[in-house]
Amino acid sequence: MLTVFNFLLDGAPHAVNGAIVLSRKNISSASYYYGTVRVYDNGWGNVCNDYYYNYAEANVICHQLGYTGASSYSWAGSVSYGTDYLSMKWDDVNCASSSYLSIAQCSYSTIIDSGCVNSNSYDATVYCYTTRIWNSNPYAGMVRLQDGVYSNEGHVEVYCNGQWGTICSDGFDSNNANTICKQLGYDASFGFNNFSLHDNSSNLTVWSRSIPNLPND
């Protein structure tokens, strides 16, 4: 009897460097589509809004959170999202393309400008469009992560034959996990595991590992 599993990249809830989440009034949530930007780099912190931070960077942040792009961007001192009291982690974030899917694909500095060190008013903020990126012209072989605590993790779902489905665990290995993470804009998989189907995905088609267009090295 075949036992069907979903995959959860990054096993238990765990942020890796480059993970993104938004906060309001110093409280973060994976459900937020606007707020102050928090980035993980050996701990959570903020991103400095300097002259590099514009629509390109804001779009990439929204892509990483699963949205089609940014409606607007600003700094904490000019919006009413509340003060985020974390220290600054990244400065000079510069994305060569607004089509990137992960902020880790962009250049950045961990040397923080003195203006950002001394004030949370310069924390970068973003307001994302609410349309999910996978609902806007999905293509065969498109991958998404669902139900993760952070942007870098979740149950793997693949778009095939006009619908989203989960993946059978049989034959899935670290090479497949790495390829999926690279397709999503990350360097590699931190880890993966298999879990029984949960309520949100139990009604989805289960694809075999051999389905057409499934990413593979």
pLDDT at 213: 47
**Strand residues in 30-153 grouped as ranges (E):** 34-40, 44-47, 70-75, 88-94, 107-109, 124-128, 143-146
CATH of domain 5-13+134-207: 3.10.250
pLDDT for 153 equals: 81
Q: What are phi and psi for residue 205, nearest 5 degrees?
A: -65, 140
The rounded radius of gyration (Å) of the Cα atoms in the chain is 18
In this prediction, residue 3 carries a pLDDT of: 31
Q: What pTM, to 2 d.p., does this model score?
A: 0.79
Beta pairing partners, 161: none
With CA atoms as reference, report the closest residue to 136 among 99, 167, 97: 99
Angle at CA 59, nearest 5°, toward 56 and 122? 75
Every domain range in the chain assigned CATH 3.10.250.10 = 20-128
Give me the tens of pLDDT residue by residue for the chain, a chain 217 residues long: 223 334 444 444 467 788 899 999 999 998 999 999 999 999 999 999 988 899 999 999 999 999 999 999 999 988 989 888 999 999 999 999 999 988 988 999 999 988 888 788 999 999 999 999 888 888 888 888 888 777 788 888 888 888 888 887 777 778 888 888 888 888 777 777 776 545 555 577 777 655 444 555 4
Q: What is the pLDDT of residues 134-187, one digit of tens each?
A: 888 888 888 888 887 777 888 888 888 888 888 877 777 788 888 888 888 887
The CATH number assigned to the domain with range 20-128 reads 3.10.250.10
